[in-house]
Each structure stands twice: as C-alpha cells, then as structure tokens.
C-alpha cells in the first residue's frame, strides 16, 4: 500500500447536444427575452485599440457538410498582447466571444480586434492567435484549436513548431481576403483535418 | 499577470471517447488524428470573468424565470445544488454556471425540437448563476422528462440537465450532463455510454438529497463539478482565482 493522492478527478464531459443554444445562445433557440441579451456577443466594445478584423468560416463535419448547430467560443489577448483581466489590458476588450454559424448558410463571423503577440512561460513569445473551443451535437468533449494569421510572423511560435507534419500547420492559419478580412474553416475530420489541441 | 502555474493535463481516460458508433452523430464529428499536446500557456491559463451584475433576480429559478414570476412551470419541483471545485479540491468561486433542459414532458423550447409532447407555456428551460465565495451554486427547476431521439430504432435520453461551467481559465471550460439517481434509462443511453468507465459515469448521476429538500415544496438533488486544477509547487502556492 502507498499513501493516497489527495487529488480529485475532473468531471467527465458530455456532448452539448443539439439544443445547446437554449442555455448558451437563447435567442438562437427562440427564447428571446429570457435574458436582456445573449452572453458575450462581442469580444470588444467601441473604442478597442488596434485593428478591427472580421473572420468568417464554417465548421465542416467528416462528410464536408457545414454544420449549422455548432457553438463556438473564442478567447484572446488585446492588440498589445495582454489578456483581459491582466494589468494594463485594454478595458474595451473582454476577449471572450460566443458565436454560432448562420442557420441557413452554416457560415460564422467573428468580429474582433487583432490580438498582439503574447508572452508565454519563460519569456517565450507566441505569435498572435485566437483560442477557439467548439462544441456541438456529436462532439463528446469540446474541441480546442487556435486561429493564427497568414500576415503575421508565425515562424517562431512554439505551438506551431510542434506540429510534426508541416502541411498541417496551414489548418491553423487564417487567410487574408481583403483589408481586415480573413477566412478560417474548421474541419473536424478527414482531408484537411484541423489540428486540435490537448493543452 | 501572476503565474498561477500550468493547468494539470487532462486525463482523457475519464472522458467520453470522441468516436463512438453507438452515438451515431459522433461518427462524422470526431477527429481522426491525434490531439496536439503541450504544456498550457497564458492562452489557456486565463479566461473570461462574469460579474453578478450579469444576473437577473430569477436567472437561477427555472420554475419562474420564463414568465418573470407570473406563473410557475408544471412538473416535479426540485432544487439542484452543489459545488464547483478544482482537482486540488479547492472551491472555484465566482464562476458562471449555465444549465438547460427539457420540460416535464421531455420537450425542449427550441425551434428544432419537433417532439409532440407539448411545450409548457410557463417554462423556458434555461438558467444561470454564479458560484458564491465557496464555490456553491443552486437552481430551482422542475425535473425534466425523458425523450426519444433519432439515433437507433428506439433510443430515449434519460432525464438530464445540461450544464456548462467556465472556471477561471479558458482551458478549464467544460460542458456536461447531470443524470438522476435511479433512472433506468441511464444504462440504455448511447450518449451516457460514450463514457467507458462505469465509475466515471456514476459521477454524473446526482443523488437525491433529502437534507436539502424543503418540506411541502421541493425535492433536492446534489451535483458537484470538478474542473481542471493547476500544477503547483511550494513556490506557486497561490489560491485558485487569487
């Protein structure tokens, strides 16, 4: 016998299901008015410092179908690379957004400020990125990924550097389509499968 | 930003398998390739905070919140309560907990739900609250009914309440489901069965808690939630959230 470890285990995840919107995005489900407004409709307020950008895309399942029922959440630093809640952070940046794809087209839009590079442990610099969490019917535990930007220097980013198969790095890079506009698709399975994270 | 230490890596063994043919939708919605693992970074170690100013007076009372207190929902009145803790056993105070559920007949108030059990005009089915300084939360609601779903020929979900918990960092984010003690449908449910360890599934089953039931008013069920903790040393000995 050994001593007992004094540690609890995380609660197991379960799928968010097809009706996740009732609890998380009530107006999407048809519950207008239960709250004054849905939670975290935007990660920024007017006056946020930095470049305002729009990222559009879809979440595709293994058959190439753009999912209509996924819910996404994003978390990011401000334009100076400071996370909200930390000293010196831009008060107009909450950094957190909850969004869904359009019911008809399956296209989502995230309007935010382009984040700055952030400092990791030991002074390591992470290239500008937005963390994303995807839940939906059929996803048993939420999928974590990141959006990087093709017009930034990603060469020294420690996470991208860890991706062994270099062509897969591309699945985490948003493509610029116009000034302040990017596209970023998430492919859950199969050809061009997005790199998902366990961190 | 104070460095609170990296998040304890997830033990994926306790979680459901992503690909489970018994739960048909997971077949095309589960990655084929392995997840990329690395130590957490500030991107996962920080996260959104929500204040009490977010909450309306009835937000954690699903019996009354849809009608703004005008008329109560129909069904078995229950209190659902518990604590949010981290893996180190510390309470997670001041964190947002959201729930959603079907009504007493198993019908969701969602544009996509076409089950012919009727809607309850006095029941919306969503609620939210923020844990107190000791990590406690509570909701007053009605016990949801079981409902059928188009998976295998005759699949029915057990009675359940969906729960979403934030914690203090984006890497702690968790959505799960609460089941009820004694429900025979739990053992027949392909979604519950995505968790391969029976002892882990049991952790999602809320026991009847007569000590918290209010005589002549409501029964109670207890449901504690554990979020990822941080790996700490003597030199990183800071309270969660401080």
How much is the pLDDT for B234? Answer: 55
Cβ–Cβ of A13/B175 closer than 8 Å?
yes
- B52 is a catalytic site residue: no
Q: Cα separation of A131 and B42, whole Å? A: 11
Domain covering B12-28+53-226 in this structure, CATH number: 2.60.130.10
The pLDDT confidence band at residue B2, using thresholds 50, 70 and 90, is: low
| Helix, strand, or coil (residue B182) | coil
Mean pLDDT to the nearest integer, B153-166: 98
- B115 is a catalytic site residue: no
Cβ–Cβ of A73/B173 closer than 8 Å?
yes
Question: Which residues partner with B82 through β-bridges?
Answer: B137
**Taking the domains of chain B in order of start, what are their residue ranges?**
12-28+53-226
Does the ipTM exceed 0.85? Answer: yes
Q: How many CA atoms lie within 13 A of B53 on its CB side?
A: 2
Query: Cβ contacts (< 8 Å) between B12 and chain A: which residues?
Result: 141, 198
Closest CA to A111 of A56, A57, A47: A56
The pLDDT confidence band at residue B232, using thresholds 50, 70 and 90, is: confident
Nearest-by-CA chain B residue for A62 = B28
Q: Cα separation of A138 and B191, whole Å? A: 9
Residue A185 has pLDDT above 70, yes or no: yes
Q: What element of type H or E holds A60?
A: strand A59-60
Q: Please tell me which residue in B157, B168, B228, B230 is annotated as part of the active site.
A: B157
- B157 is a catalytic site residue: yes
The pLDDT confidence band at residue B233, using thresholds 50, 70 and 90, is: low
How do residues A66-107 score in pLDDT, each as one tens digit? 999 999 999 999 999 999 999 999 999 999 999 999 999 999
Of A10, A29, A35, the CB nearest to B110: A29
Residue B241 has pLDDT above 70, yes or no: no
Whole-number percent of chain B with pLDDT over 70: 95
| Helix, strand, or coil (residue A23) | helix
> Mean pLDDT across chain A, nearest whole number?
97
Are B10 and A142 spatial neighbours (Cβ–Cβ below 8 Å)? no
Q: Cα separation of B15 and B13, whole Å? A: 6
Q: Please tell me which residue in B23, B147, B179, B221 is annotated as part of the active site.
A: B147
How much is the pLDDT for A6? Answer: 87
A29 DSSP 8-state letter: H
Q: Cα separation of A197 and B93, whole Å? A: 27
Q: Cα separation of B242 and B226, whole Å? A: 18
Q: What's the token pair of residue B222?
A: 């207890």
Of A12, A69, A121, the CB nearest to B41: A121
Q: Please tell me which residue in B81, B107, B108, B179 is annotated as part of the active site.
A: B108
How do residues A147-181 score in pLDDT, each as one tens digit? 999 999 999 999 999 999 999 999 999 999 999 99
Cβ–Cβ of A10/B191 closer than 8 Å?
no
Ordered alpha helix ranges (H), A42-150: none
Cβ–Cβ of A142/B174 closer than 8 Å?
yes
Residue B193 has pLDDT above 80, yes or no: yes
Q: Give the mutation candidate from B27, B43, B112 for the A interface (greatest A CB count, under 10 A).
A: B43
Residue B235 has pLDDT above 70, yes or no: no
Contacts of A112 (CB under 8 A, 6+ apart): A42, A43, A44, A52, A53, A55, A74, A76, A97, A130
Domain covering A20-187 in this structure, CATH number: 2.60.130.10
Helix and strand numbers, DSSP H then E, in chain A: 3, 13
Cβ–Cβ of B176/A24 closer than 8 Å?
no
Q: What element of type H or E holds A179?
A: none
Cβ–Cβ of A10/B40 closer than 8 Å?
no
Mean pLDDT to the nearest integer, A122-142: 96
Count Cβ neighbours within 10 Å for each residue of B168-187 and write b for 16 or more, e otherwise: bbbbbbbbbbbbbeebebbe
How do residues B60-114 score in pLDDT, each as one tens digit? 999 999 999 999 999 999 999 999 999 999 999 999 999 999 999 999 999 999 9
pTM of the entire structure? 0.96
Of A31, A129, A143, the CB nearest to B126: A31
How do residues B29-49 score in pLDDT, each as one tens digit? 999 999 999 999 999 999 999
How do residues A3-23 score in pLDDT, each as one tens digit? 999 899 999 999 999 999 999
Of A67, A83, A198, the CB nearest to B42: A83
How much is the pLDDT for B242? Answer: 40
Residue B238 has pLDDT above 60, yes or no: no
Cβ–Cβ of B109/A31 closer than 8 Å?
yes
């Amino acid at each position: 016998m050994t001593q007992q470890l004094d540690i609890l285990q995380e609660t197991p995840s379960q799928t968010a299901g097809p009706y996740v919107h009732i609890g998380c995005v009530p107006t999407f489900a048809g519950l207008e008015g239960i709250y004054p407004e849905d939670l975290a409709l935007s990660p920024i307020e007017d006056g946020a410092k930095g470049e305002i950008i729009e990222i559009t895309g879809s979440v595709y399942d293994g058959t190439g179908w753009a999912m209509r029922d996924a819910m996404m959440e994003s978390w990011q630093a401000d334009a100076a690379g400071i996370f909200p809640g930390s000293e010196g952070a831009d008060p107009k940046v909450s950094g957190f957004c909850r969004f869904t794809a359009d019911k008809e087209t399956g296209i989502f839009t995230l309007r935010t400020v382009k984040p700055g590079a952030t400092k990791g442990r030991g002074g390591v610099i992470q290239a500008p990125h937005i963390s994303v969490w995807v839940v939906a019917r059929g996803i048993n535990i939420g999928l974590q990924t990141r959006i990087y930007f093709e017009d930034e220097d990603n060469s020294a980013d420690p996470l991208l550097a860890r991706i062994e198969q270099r062509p897969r790095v591309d699945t985490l890079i948003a493509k610029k389509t116009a000034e302040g506009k990017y596209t970023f698709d998430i492919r859950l399975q199969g050809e061009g499968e997005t790199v998902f994270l366990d961190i | 930003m104070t460095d609170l230490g990296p998040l304890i890596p997830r033990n994926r063994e306790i979680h459901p398998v992503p690909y489970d043919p018994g739960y048909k939708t997971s077949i095309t919605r589960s990655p084929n390739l392995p997840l990329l693992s690395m130590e957490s970074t500030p991107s996962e170690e920080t996260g959104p905070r929500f204040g009490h100013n977010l909450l309306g007076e009835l937000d954690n009372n699903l019996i009354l919140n849809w009608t703004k207190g005008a008329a109560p929902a129909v069904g078995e009145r229950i209190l659902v309560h518990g604590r949010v803790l981290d893996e180190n056993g510390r309470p997670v105070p001041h964190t947002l907990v959201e729930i959603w559920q079907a009504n007493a007949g198993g019908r969701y108030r969602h544009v996509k739900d076409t089950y012919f059990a009727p809607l309850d005009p006095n029941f919306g089915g969503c609620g939210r609250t923020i844990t107190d300084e000791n990590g406690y939360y509570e909701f007053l609601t009605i016990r949801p009914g079981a409902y059928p779903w188009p998976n295998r020929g005759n699949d029915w979900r057990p009675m359940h309440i969906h729960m979403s918990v934030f914690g203090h960092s984006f890497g702690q984010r968790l959505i799960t489901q609460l089941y009820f003690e004694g429900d025979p449908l739990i053992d027949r449910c392909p979604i519950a069965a995505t968790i391969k360890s029976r002892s882990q599934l049991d952790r999602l089953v809320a026991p009847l808690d007569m000590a918290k039931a209010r005589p002549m008013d409501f029964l109670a069920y207890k449901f504690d939630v554990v979020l990822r903790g941080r790996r700490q040393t003597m030199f990183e000995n800071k309270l969660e959230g401080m």
